Structure 1
Amino acid sequence: MKIRTLLRAALIPAVLAAAAVAMPSALAAPPSSEPPTMSPAIVGGSQATETYSFMGSMQVNGRHGCGASLVASQWMVTAAHCVTGQGGQVMPASQFRIRIGSTNTGSGGTLASVSQVVRHPSYSGQVGPGDIALFKLSSAVSQAPISINDSSPAAQASTRLIGFGQTCPQQGCGGSSTTLKQLDTRINPDNMCSAGFNASTELCVYSTTSQTACYGDSGGPAVVKVGSAWRLVGATSRAGANGSTCGTGNATIYTDVTAYRSWVNQYVGGSGPGPDPEPPTCSAAAWSPYTQYPPQSSVSYQGYEWRNSTWSYRETPGYSYNWQRVGTCARR
């Protein structure tokens, strides 16, 4: 299995496997017939030095599958692949429980149910942009949320990864952990990531096979320190290079949550559904994965205008030869 398919398959546990491992390129927890009995999460790093009130363990039938971050009293950010079933559909909200504000997946904090799952409309189930989703909790929780950072971190900026994922880098070497771990690392230059990396909406995070996010960490946070407060910048998406071992190529790809800030705020602020609005200088309508486009259609996507040569459906501009870039819009 290529590592581009690694992180998605690896971050969803066995209980989710039948329903959610449609695109095994992410870091969902791997199948396991028994509850894990291993050291803390993430490969390398250290025991969590804080409770991290915003940290969530997304669970199905009591088993950890992915991480999530509390960004408002009733809303959490995670990865889109964590909520996607085998057929590409959004999984029912009733399947999920999230333990929030605890360093243990089995106790402490608040165990919340989910009333709504919102997947970003640009997520196509393939490697690439849009790997972000929201959980609306059935009721508000008392834990303190984390703010989304004002801007994307620059290359070489320090960042901290937090998660309950497995502690060994090889696929299938162990299940998810019951205790929380953290890893201090940095942001890579964009050219260190491959696997369909999109610099405008994703972060390339430095990793090694002994210091990395891994299977079970998908959707979990990458944070930066601003003054005395943590700010959210990323959600674990997939490995940064081909291979089935976490940290291969010295890179892990995170969704840049700051790039989707306006989309998140549409829900958290209560203004309703919809994708990020395109810049006003984009004359074409925003691309949608749910629209069939006849030849010579024009769409706007990620700050550019695109035109297709043949019929197109669920083909992401910039990731399909069918779409050719024909113009530039103002970048978000």
Structure 2
Amino acid sequence: MVTSQHAGPRTGSGPARAPGRASRRRDAAYPYALYLPAAVVFGVVFLVPTAMAFYFALTRWTLFDSTFVGLDNFRDFLAEQNLSIGFGNTLFYAVLTSGLKVVLGLLLGVLLTSRLRLRGFLRSVVFFPTLVSTVAVGITFSMLLKPDTGLVNEALAVVGVDGRDWLGDATTALLSVALVDVWKGVGLATVIYIAGIMSIPAEYYQAVAVDGGGAWHRFRHITLPLSRPATYSVIILSFIGGLRSFDLIWTMTRGGPGFTSDTIASIIYKQYQAGFFGLSTAGNVLLFLVVTVIAVPLNHFLGKRQVAA
């Protein structure tokens, strides 16, 4: 029997061993180490400020001092006489703006994925308002909606329609701001819908065409149901944005006339302006809880609908 004279190098005196427990732990921990930078940023930017907000909501504080008062700030904020108006306005604003963004975004998405000659240019035009500063949009439309010199009322006068004080009338102030918000934000909704529609396989549309279906059948049986993920994304983003909306409302109406267009965010800001920092912090915590209580179940419900579909 011939034996090899040139065996390969050996690293130990015994047979090769399976990786030890420490090595397996190191291999298992390696993917989580990749999450560490994002976890640090998330903790510093979100978790730490959130924890500090919950603490300062329980105090009366200034820049250099704080006094613990327990739940007094929450009780005082909930006793705010305009809070019920602000809460109702917030829900109305969020539902209206998110609903219009879904409808208009879907229609524009269908239009801008069709065979239009100027399709690329029109996509840029629709998305452009999203890039403009919200404060700049608010100031611009405040000028356009002025009752005497605004371009909107002058254009209505040309066709024989009497304009009104859109931002000074309690019945139209919040509605006017909401429509401006839709004009500014529908571009993002449209882009989401364009991405969703373009991901639908062309074979589905070809099958409808073979069966003799027209444009309505393509929209009803293919585009609408298969763009549900885009619809859910637009609903969640728009609804949360509507609940938190402040800058456009403050720029255009400052919650007026009176308190008729106040939202929870504008009420919080007014408390901050008055120097009630602990009270405004408690309001921010309550707004955070309201958004969470509404958005989390809504996201869960829409997620279940998407899986079921």
Higher helix share: 2
Given the two structures, how large is their TM-score scaled by the length of structure 2?
Answer: 0.23
- More contact order relative to length (CA 8 Å, sep ≥ 6): 2
Answer with 1 or 2: which has the greater Rg: 2
Given the two structures, how large is their TM-score scaled by the length of structure 1?
Answer: 0.22
